[in-house]
């Protein structure tokens, strides 16, 4: 009986252990799940700049935990899930980069589940295809009515292309007009053989509003490595505002029927914003080149902002009369003057920079500013009396050892009876900083009608007296402010009873320092490629150190620094400082 009882107890225990083992084995079997699986979407393709969706289908019976996506082995995207999600249709937008045609971009997709099991990697491939060449549309003759140019095409200017029909000396009234609208990102090329030029005739308009990321570009038709100043004409705008030319209506230099002038100072010739003009300045006649940007009697209704003139064969910007205002201008390595103002120009300009090349200077003598009332210095009205603020005129002379053309002259050549007003402006690297030329111009300075306030002139270490040196071989020693004229023999200049240098020093906020190296500007402004424009604020003579208070018209942004820049580079993204390497025709 005892044995039997023991046997029964042993049997019960054995059964219990067996049942527990079976239950545990069943439980463990229920927790075994297959690993996640990933299936990549079909291969995609597109040109640089196109958008495609990277896609994949994911399954994870144990519940999804994470999804990892790599682009050519580098992290691209991750995604986390809740344990309840067992499947997903993944999609993520990708913008194809500027890669060569035929390049493959591989996206590796891996999923993990709640059991930390990983899927086999799946690959989604994007193939880069060639960008189809843009159609080149040749434009000739006269354009009337409403015309639109779009960025999907390239427009070639053949000969003198005119918007509107005012090609006589008559007034614009009753003459057929046009409005040319140019889409952001559009490229326009000038035909070299025909001296391609775009002229907005008096009474017509151009609406060329690019963006910081898609500027509008006027440039040479020639290939990379072949472009040079004077490859085509330039951009010319003619308006109906006043000038001081005889009769008030005249042709622009070169007699190419660019008639301008009238009595409407509020005239509206349209809008230019984020526009570059490169390699312009072809000679129409001997010694009569078109400027990169030419403004003939343009009225105040016109808008000019964020404009760059590069490698022009004449002036970068020239105003013949008119009252148009402008902000954010770049003159880069032009041949003649950076900013030329005459024939009664009375507009406002703020934030402008001129940068020179060491050997690129014109036989007429190259200056930062060249300002005249008219060609003879008469008292014709309206006087050339623009107001400028926050300009940086950077000559070519970086150091004593830098060779520059002997044709460079002055940061500011103020002559022939003009009445310019200049504020918060910086000049360096020219043989002379300021030249107030002629008795009538001196008289305007003496009477307070020509104004220089908060102007800083900086020399070059070891280059002549106070850092200013030789100009042309016939010129005497350079000056921060020229005190003798260019006659032979030279004669003293006077503003009232003071030498010009003494007059300059007595004006509010003006100063001359021995070297630009103490002003906080970067040495890169003298070189090629994109400069660093922002200032080093801790420099001994920092241009950011503040200015004497002046009251300017409401157009001007209030600033407390000298020059075109302080802590912000307004040329970023839209300006180009190496246009010779840009492929425009694709």
How many domains is the chain built from?
Answer: 2
Burial of residue 60 (number of CB atoms within 10 Å: 0-12, 13-18, 19+) = buried
Enumerate long-range contacts of 528-536, CB under 8 Å, 24 or more apart.
528/577, 528/578, 529/577, 529/578, 530/577, 530/578, 531/355, 531/577, 532/569, 533/353, 533/564, 533/565, 533/569, 533/571, 534/565, 534/566, 534/567, 534/568, 534/569, 535/561, 535/563, 535/565, 535/566, 535/567
pTM score: 0.83
With respect to residue 244, please indicate whether it lies within any of the assigned structural domains. Answer: yes
Residues 198 and 188: beta-carbon distance below 8 Å: yes
What is residue 81's predicted lDDT score, i.e. its pLDDT?
Answer: 95
Candidates 438, 387, 392, 424; CA nearest to 411 is 392
What CATH number should be reported for the domain holding residue 45?
A: 2.60.40.10
Whether residues 121 and 152 fall in one domain: no
Task: Report the percentage of the chain scoring pLDDT > 70.
Answer: 92
Q: What is the DSSP letter of 345?
A: -
With respect to residue 525, please indicate whether it lies within any of the assigned structural domains. Answer: yes
Whether residues 61 and 205 fall in one domain: no
Whether residues 454 and 568 fall in one domain: yes
Q: Is 71 helix (H, G, I), strand (E, B) or coil?
A: strand
Whether residues 542 and 469 fall in one domain: yes
Q: Which two tokens stand for residue 535?
A: 């200032």
> What is d(CA 391, CA 376) in angstroms, rounded to the nearest whole number?
27
Contacts of 14 (CB under 8 A, 6+ apart): none
Q: Is 581 helix (H, G, I), strand (E, B) or coil?
A: helix
Whether residues 160 and 286 fall in one domain: yes
What is residue 356's predicted lDDT score, i.e. its pLDDT?
Answer: 98
What is residue 284's predicted lDDT score, i.e. its pLDDT?
Answer: 87
What is the domain extent for residue 100?
A: 37-128
Q: Is 49 helix (H, G, I), strand (E, B) or coil?
A: coil
What CATH number should be reported for the domain holding residue 534?
A: 2.160.20
Whether residues 122 and 220 fall in one domain: no
What confidence tens digit (pLDDT) does each residue in 88-114 have?
999 999 999 989 999 999 999 999 999
With respect to residue 25, please indicate whether it lies within any of the assigned structural domains. Answer: no
Instruction: List per-block mean pLDDT (blocks of 10 residues) for the chain, which spans 586 residues.
Output: 46 44 49 92 93 96 96 96 91 94 96 95 96 94 97 98 80 75 98 97 97 98 96 98 96 92 97 98 87 98 98 98 98 98 98 97 95 98 98 96 93 98 98 97 98 98 84 61 91 97 98 97 97 96 95 97 98 97 91
What is residue 30's predicted lDDT score, i.e. its pLDDT?
Answer: 60
> What is d(CA 234, CA 518) in angstroms, rounded to the nearest whole number?
38
* Residue 50 CB-half CA count within 13 A: 17
Q: What is the DSSP letter of 223?
A: P
With respect to residue 321, please indicate whether it lies within any of the assigned structural domains. Answer: yes
Whether residues 256 and 147 fall in one domain: yes
With respect to residue 335, please indicate whether it lies within any of the assigned structural domains. Answer: yes
φ, ψ at 329 (rounded to 5°) = -115, 140
Q: Is 248 helix (H, G, I), strand (E, B) or coil?
A: helix
With respect to residue 307, please indicate whether it lies within any of the assigned structural domains. Answer: yes
Q: Which two tokens stand for residue 85?
A: 């999600």
Whether residues 260 and 393 fall in one domain: yes
Q: Among 98, 128, 158, where does a domain finish?
A: 128
């Amino acid at each position: 009986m005892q044995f039997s009882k023991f046997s029964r107890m042993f049997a019960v225990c054995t059964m219990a252990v067996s049942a527990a083992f079976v239950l545990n084995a069943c439980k463990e079997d229920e927790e075994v799940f297959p690993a996640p699986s990933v299936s990549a979407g079909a291969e995609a393709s597109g040109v640089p700049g196109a958008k495609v969706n990277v896609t994949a289908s994911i399954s994870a019976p144990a519940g999804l935990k994470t999804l990892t996506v790599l682009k050519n082995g580098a992290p691209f995207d991750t995604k986390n899930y809740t344990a309840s999600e067992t499947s997903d249709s993944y999609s993520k937008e990708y913008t194809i980069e500027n890669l060569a045609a035929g390049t493959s971009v591989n996206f590796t997709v891996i999923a993990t589940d709640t059991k930390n099991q990983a899927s086999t990697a799946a690959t989604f491939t994007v193939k880069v295809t060639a960008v189809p060449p843009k159609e080149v549309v040749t434009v000739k003759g006269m354009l009337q009515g409403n015309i639109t140019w779009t960025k999907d095409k390239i427009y070639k200017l053949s000969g003198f292309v005119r918007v509107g029909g005012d090609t006589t000396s008559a007034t614009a009234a009753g003459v057929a007009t046009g409005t040319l609208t140019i889409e952001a990102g559009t490229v326009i090329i000038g035909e070299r053989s025909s001296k391609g030029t775009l002229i907005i005739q008096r009474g017509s308009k151009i609406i060329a509003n690019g963006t910081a990321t898609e500027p509008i570009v006027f440039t040479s038709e020639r290939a990379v490595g072949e472009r040079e100043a004077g490859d085509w004409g330039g951009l010319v705008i003619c308006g109906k505002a006043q000038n001081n030319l005889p009769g008030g209506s005249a042709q622009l230099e070169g007699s190419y029927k660019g008639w301008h002038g009238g009595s409407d100072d509020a005239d509206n010739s349209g809008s230019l914003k984020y526009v570059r003009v490169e390699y312009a300045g072809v000679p129409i006649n001997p010694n009569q080149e078109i400027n990169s940007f030419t403004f003939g009697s343009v009225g105040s209704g016109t808008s000019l902002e964020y404009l760059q003139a590069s490698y022009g064969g004449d002036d970068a910007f020239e105003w013949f009369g008119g009252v148009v205002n402008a902000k954010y201008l770049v003159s880069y390595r032009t041949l003649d003057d950076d900013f030329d103002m005459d024939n009664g120009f009375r507009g406002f300009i703020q934030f402008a920079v001129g940068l020179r090349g060491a050997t690129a200077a014109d036989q007429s003598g190259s200056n930062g500013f060249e300002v005249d009332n008219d060609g003879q210095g008469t008292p014709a009205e309206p006087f050339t009396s623009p107001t400028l603020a926050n300009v940086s005129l950077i000559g070519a002379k970086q150091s004593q050892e830098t060779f520059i053309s002997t044709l460079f002259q002055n940061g500011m050549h103020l002559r022939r009876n003009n009445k310019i007003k200049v504020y918060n402006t910086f000049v360096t690297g020219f043989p002379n900083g300021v030249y107030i030329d002629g008795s009538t111009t001196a008289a305007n300075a003496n009477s307070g009608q020509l104004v220089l306030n908060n102007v800083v002139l900086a020399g070059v270490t070891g280059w002549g007296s106070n850092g200013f040196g030789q100009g042309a071989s016939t010129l005497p020693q350079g000056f921060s402010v020229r005190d003798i004229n260019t006659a032979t023999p030279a004669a003293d200049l006077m503003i009232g009873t003071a030498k010009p240098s003494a007059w300059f020093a007595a004006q509010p906020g003006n100063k001359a320092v021995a070297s630009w190296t103490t002003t906080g500007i970067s040495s890169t402004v003298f070189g090629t490629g994109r400069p660093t424009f922002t200032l080093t604020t801790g420099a001994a003579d920092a241009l950011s150190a503040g200015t004497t208070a002046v009251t300017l018209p409401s157009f001007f942004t209030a600033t407390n620094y000298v020059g075109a820049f302080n802590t912000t580079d307004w040329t970023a993204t839209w300006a180009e400082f190496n246009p010779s390497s840009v492929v425009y025709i694709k």
